[in-house]
Amino acid sequence: MNVLMLSTTFIPSVLLCGHCQLDYMEKRGEINYKFVPSHFVKRKNVEWADVIVFGRSDTDIDAYVAKIAKKAGKHLAYFLDDDILNVPSYLSSAPYYLLPSTQKNIKATMSFCDTFLTPSPVLMEKYGKGFRHAYLISEPSLNRIDQKKENNKIKIGFAGSIDRAQDINNILEDAIRKIVEKYGDSVEIEFMGAKPSFLEELGLKHLPYQDGYDAYTAYMARCNWDIGLAPMPLSEFHRCKYFNKFVEYASFGIAGIYTNCEPYVFGIRNEENGLLVNNTTEEWVDAISRLIEDKELRKRISDQCLKEADEKYSLRVLAPDYYQKLINSFEKAESYGHIPGFLLAKTLFFFKRVYRKIREQGKDFPEWLKKKIDKKLEERKENIQYAKNTGKLKQIISNRKTVFVIAPIYDEFNRESDYEKRVEYLDREILKDYYLVYLNGEDRGLEHLNTTFVDERHANIVFNSFDMSQADEILKLIEQSGTCVIHSVIRFIREKLSSDMYKVFDLENVTTIWDSHGAVPEQYHELSNIHTEMITNDIEKIFYEKADVLICEKKELFRHFKEKYGERQMRYIVCPSENTYDELKETIG
């Protein structure tokens, strides 16, 4: 079965409400799966698909594809995790979602779909009756820890987008002030993303929001909060959301405190896997104080959260369930036939959008058009700079000894653990005569590869996980370089482009060094915080069978590889230290 997913951009909603589940099923060999941004969809994509999933789709291209796909006998599904037909006017996305044209496209796309998928019981009640089939789904816990570490002091945190600052100000300000006054330096309070107005006054810590879901959850793991705050405004729009904050906090054993409202009441059982409170200063202060002072309660909630993240919200449980609900009542037609006029339709839609924009903007259209042109010109400058950067990299690689590193650039680490120290040691001592190009994954759908020349011997590449032309470009550079070091930072390896990096093993004259820390099995996940089930494409086996050099930080892990996959001809470096790194130096040459 061929499954196609369409969405305007690859946002976390798309990742959690379909992509990761379908990608998981593809890795198991159950389906063939593709994700394509809506505006890049081609006729061959639609003809290839048996099932098409529309992710919060809101453009005229989505509506058109749904219409022709329905005529061609495809099985269509629409998923929704927000009430995008009723976005409050004060949200930054409101001007777009409240446009008549956007509303029309959403409703039109929905009208052609057979199945409705949503994690929200409220949205199910609101829209489910308009489809032949409607199912509740759950968003999974992707990145999680196995066991929580203790902190020297109680760490309290909030994680959320920048526009959540208003919610914190309105709901939590007085409570946070009382907690700071009551406990002082015995607690540490952090806000990731949202920056409340009282933060600097109270001397609280602000952490930058992390773009990309994998980077976000990895950062959450490193924060190691004991208590997580999840305030929610009481509004019809917020009722329609999913309790994803619980899933995130549970993944890292964080004992969360949640507003006693929908959607949290659908997932939280008070005093068992979290605390539910009304939005009053007194109840928030009481709940935070209780978790600070009652270590036994905090640990009991933390342990239960970790258990649920594994047993209830893991992909191994949720992906098959999602797949079965998606294809329920699916019957493959004998022949879909050729879908004509696709390119012409897309061209006509472009002109229709321009005409509609003129009507919407009225007398402001000239100013709007100027801004649009300026933006395109800026993008063109960025594209030109990208071309220059790529050319500069090619020139560097052809004239200097260069090593490609699949890992976050080491300066991003806190350098406290043995792993971070080893990454830094590799950079500063073993590879000190080389130009190093670090590859970092980014999971947005429509960005260009970005190259930053950090200093005279480091470049940092952030690449688009879904643009295979970028993968090909990077692979060419690796082949030209001749050496690639892969650190087992699984959150990057799991992304689509990083999956294509497996091709590095098929390149000629490329020495591949695999630093196996954190890859497998569970007891070695201390840094990556990922369960074995998340390691896609048999990454452990592929790395073991194809790498030229294997670095194992523990003899037990070295034995694990040999017992599981057998002996093979390769260079081993076990329990690396400054002395044993001489072998690596010799290998790189």
Q: For the segment 286-300, what is each residue's pLDDT rounded down to a tens digit?
A: 999 999 999 999 999
pLDDT in tens, 186-213: 999 999 989 999 998 999 999 887 766 7
The share of the chain scoring above pLDDT 70, in percent, equals: 82
Q: Are 454 and 409 in contact (CB under 8 A)?
A: yes
Mean pLDDT for the stretch of residues 380-398: 79
Residue 470 has pLDDT above 90, yes or no: no
Model pLDDT, residue 576 = 58
Model pLDDT, residue 476 = 82
Q: What is the DSSP letter of 308?
A: H
DSSP 383-421: HHHHHHHHHHHHHHHHHS-EEEEES--GGGS-S-SHHHH
**Which residues make beta-bridge pairs with 4?**
34, 52
pLDDT band at 363 (very low <50, low <70, confident <90, very high): confident
Model pLDDT, residue 565 = 81
Higher pLDDT, 65 or 445: 65
Please state which of the ranges 58-67, 70-79, 308-317, 494-503 shows the lowest mean pLDDT: 494-503
Nearest to 496 by CA among 170, 30, 37, 8: 37
Rounded CA-CA distance 365/362 in Å is 6
Model pLDDT, residue 83 = 95
Model pLDDT, residue 227 = 97
Fold of 2-140+321-329: Rossmann fold (3.40.50)
Nearest to 521 by CA among 529, 530, 532: 532
pLDDT in tens, 22-62: 989 998 899 999 998 888 888 889 999 999 999 999 988 89
Please state which of the ranges 105-109, 256-260, 484-488 shows the lowest mean pLDDT: 484-488
pLDDT band at 555 (very low <50, low <70, confident <90, very high): confident
Higher pLDDT, 267 or 373: 267
Model pLDDT, residue 395 = 85
Contacts of 525 (CB under 8 A, 6+ apart): 145, 146, 518, 531
Residue 505 has pLDDT above 60, yes or no: yes
**Which residues make beta-bridge pairs with 187?**
154
Residue 427 has pLDDT above 50, yes or no: yes
Model pLDDT, residue 475 = 79
Please state which of the ranges 131-145, 403-417, 513-527, 538-552 shows the lowest mean pLDDT: 513-527
pLDDT band at 232 (very low <50, low <70, confident <90, very high): very high
Residue 64 tokens, joined:
């058109």
Model pLDDT, residue 336 = 59
pLDDT band at 577 (very low <50, low <70, confident <90, very high): low
- Radius of gyration of the chain from its Cα atoms, rounded to whole angstroms: 25
Residue 412 has pLDDT above 60, yes or no: no
What is the chain's mean pLDDT, rounded?
82
Model pLDDT, residue 77 = 96
Residue 536 has pLDDT above 60, yes or no: no
Q: Counting beta carbons within 10 angstroms of the beta carbon of residue 428, is it exposed (0 to 12), middle (13 to 18) or buried (19 or more)?
A: exposed
Mean pLDDT for the stretch of residues 99-121: 94
Residue 230 tokens, joined:
């999840």
Which of these CATH numbers, 3.40.50.1240, 2.30.30.90, 3.30.70.870, 3.40.50.2000, describes 154-313? Answer: 3.40.50.2000
Burial string for 555-582 (b: 16+ CB within 10 Å, else e) reads eebbebbeeeeeeeeeeebeebeeeebe
Q: Are 488 and 535 in contact (CB under 8 A)?
A: no
Higher pLDDT, 377 or 411: 377
Mean pLDDT for the stretch of residues 322-332: 87
SS3 102: helix
Length of the chain: 589
Residue 500 has pLDDT above 60, yes or no: no
Mean pLDDT for the stretch of residues 272-281: 97
Mean pLDDT for the stretch of residues 304-325: 95
The 8 Å CB, 24+ separation contacts for 574-578 are 576/422, 576/551, 578/425, 578/429
Domain boundaries for CATH 3.40.50.2000 within the chain: 2-140+321-329, 154-313, 400-588
pLDDT in tens, 458-468: 888 876 555 55
Nearest to 135 by CA among 154, 111, 122, 118: 118
Model pLDDT, residue 35 = 92
Model pLDDT, residue 526 = 38
Mean pLDDT for the stretch of residues 474-499: 65
Model pLDDT, residue 94 = 86
Say whether the peptide bond before residue 196 is cis (omega within 30 degrees of 0): no
Q: Which amino acid is at 459?
A: A
Helix, strand and coil percent figures for the chain, each rounded to 5: 50, 20, 30
Q: What is the DSSP letter of 142?
A: -
Model pLDDT, residue 495 = 42
Q: Please give the distance of CA 336 from its chain centroid, rounded to a whole number.
A: 34
Please state which of the ranges 120-124, 154-158, 526-530 shows the lowest mean pLDDT: 526-530
Higher pLDDT, 210 or 532: 210
Model pLDDT, residue 522 = 40
CA distance readout (Å), 450 to 314, 456, 470, 477: 33, 18, 10, 15
SS3 306: helix
Contacts of 111 (CB under 8 A, 6+ apart): 66, 130
Which of these CATH numbers, 3.10.310.30, 3.40.50.2000, 3.40.50.2300, 3.40.190.10, describes 400-588? Answer: 3.40.50.2000
SS3 133: strand
Between the CA atoms of 63, 238, 265 and 533, what dihedral angle is there, to the nearest 10 degrees? 50
Higher pLDDT, 134 or 409: 134
